[in-house]
Amino acid sequence: MWAPESTPPGTIDDLVITRTWPNQVEIQWTNVGDDGDEGQAVEVQARYSTGPITEGNWGSATIVPGTVIPELPGITQARLVTSLVSNTLYYVAVKTRDMAGNWSMISNVPSATTVISDVTAPSAVTNLSVLSTTSTGATVQWTATGDDANSGTASAFDLRYATFPLNSSNFASGAQVIGEPTPGPPGTVHSLALYGMSPFTTYYFAIKVGDEMPNWSALSNVPSATTQAGDVTPPADIIDLQVIGVGPNWVTLQWTAPGDDGNTGRANSYDLRYSPNPMTTQNYSTANFISGEPGPQNAGTVQTMTISGFGTDRTYWFAIRTADEFPNWSSP
């Protein structure tokens, strides 16, 4: 006749608390078997309490969430007990269950006090400054404070910038910088180049310092700076666009390349258009695009382009304009 298994797992007797934090502890034990010290059990359940845990009050102790599947007998295993209160004495215990639902006896019951939470924030940075600007960025500099006020080494910086004055209320609305350096010891001078800004725009900068909790410092001083105007000179107008060849349904155009800034340098792109009607600056934007224009060459280079697909025995007008990298556009 079949009878249900009645042999419970062995009892864990080496449960220890290996590490403590303000809000959690780590426990470790050596696994027992499904039947005594033989076979593999199916669950290890951990519980904790602020008072000693016994067989009698096991059911009232708080279960640590999450099922732990034990390793084979003799294998050491560990887990975290979380959501605790800092500076508090806790007791922990475990039991092991087999497939038949038999539970082991309660383990030994170690105890430990969670550490006192770090409530001291780093000091605020007071010397954030803007060292230089370009048309699309700025370089800022500051001196690191400590983990606890001006003692120890902090864990992180939170540097932000905005086109409006930053303060404690709107700091989170600023653009967060990615890739801030890791804080050095108090007194370390840090600097960082920032990119992606708009030319000739005033920006405000602020930084906070965080420790490992994290506790965040108060807001730093808030310097401001205006990015440089950048390239405001468009390419020169093309004044020698001409038709140098005509076929039944094609034309060849020729012109002299202007520069990036007036007639200096190399421009970025052309915008060539045509129309069956006379073209002016006012109606240029309504004219037909021509695709496949060549890229601008160095200023002074003669360039040509053959365009096909026109109707026969018809008159067309052509115009061209040039852009630099911003883009600043010449007149057509």
CATH of the domain at 315: 2.60.40
| The predicted structure's pLDDT at residue 4 | 58
Is 143 a member of any domain? yes
Distance, CA of 142 to CA of 184 (rounded, Å)? 11
Is 237 a member of any domain? no
Is 26 a member of any domain? yes
Is 255 a member of any domain? yes
Which residues touch 174 (CB under 8 Å, ≥6 apart)? 160, 161, 162, 166, 204, 206
CB atoms within 10 A of CB 40: 17
Question: Hey, which residues does 308 pair with through a beta bridge?
Answer: 250
Q: Which residues of the chain have pLDDT under 70?
A: 1-5
Same domain (yes/no): 24, 107: yes
56: helix, coil or strand?
coil
Is 123 a member of any domain? no
Same domain (yes/no): 96, 133: no
221: helix, coil or strand?
coil
Phi-psi region of 77 (alpha: psi -120 to 50; beta: other; left: phi over 0): beta
- Per the structure, the count of domains in the chain is 3
Same domain (yes/no): 41, 95: yes
End residue of a domain, out of 62, 78, 113: 113
CB atoms within 10 A of CB 27: 23
Same domain (yes/no): 254, 165: no
Residue written as token pair 């079949």? 2
Is 271 a member of any domain? yes
Same domain (yes/no): 271, 197: no
Same domain (yes/no): 135, 107: no
| The predicted structure's pLDDT at residue 1 | 44
C-alpha dihedral (73, 74, 75, 79), degrees to nearest 10: 80
| The predicted structure's pLDDT at residue 61 | 97
Nearest C-alpha neighbor of 155 from the set 216, 210, 218: 210
Q: Following DSSP, what letter does each residue of 29-45 receive, concatenated?
A: EE---SBBTBS--SEEE
Nearest C-alpha neighbor of 29 from the set 86, 81, 102: 81
End residue of a domain, out of 83, 113, 143: 113
Is 24 a member of any domain? yes
Same domain (yes/no): 219, 303: no
Same domain (yes/no): 51, 103: yes
Same domain (yes/no): 155, 75: no
What six digits make up the tokens of 185?
């010891």
Is 94 a member of any domain? yes
Q: What is the maximum span of the chain, computed from C-alpha positions, in angstroms?
A: 108
| The predicted structure's pLDDT at residue 3 | 46
Range of the domain at 144: 129-226
CATH number for 68: 2.60.40.10
